[in-house]
Amino acid sequence: MLKIQTNNGTPAELDTSEASEEELQILTARAERNARLQESDKYLTSDHPTTKKTGWTTYRQSLRDMDFTDPDDLTWPDKPE
């Protein structure tokens, strides 16, 4: 079982008993990507005190554009400093 969060934040479990090792790696990487997106949500709210909204927007788009076809060769984008 792989524990994930749905879009509304509700915890869920995926039955991974028949998944290959590569499928598990991809699912795990996508779950990590989704967690990073969720962690960075706050930086784009209109009342968050940051001057780096463009950087956060670019970071989040880079996360969405990630290619998961080769889970052994993932390059995670850097967070804005």
In this predicted model, what pLDDT tens digit does every residue of 29-80 receive, in sequence order?
998 999 999 999 999 888 888 788 899 999 999 999 999 999 899 999 999 9
Cα–Cα distance, 60 to 37 (Å, whole number): 6
Vertex 81 angle, CA 26 and 41, to 5°: 55
Residue 81 placed within a domain: no
Residue 80 placed within a domain: no
Question: First and final CA of the chain: distance in angstroms?
Answer: 35
Residue 33 placed within a domain: yes
- Max CA pair span of the chain: 46
Residue 25 placed within a domain: yes
Residue 21 placed within a domain: yes
pLDDT (0 to 100) of residue 80 = 92
Provide the residue range defining the domain that includes 46.
2-73
pTM over the 0.85 mark: no
Whether 1 contacts 15, CB under 8 Å: yes
Please count the structural domains in the chain. Answer: 1
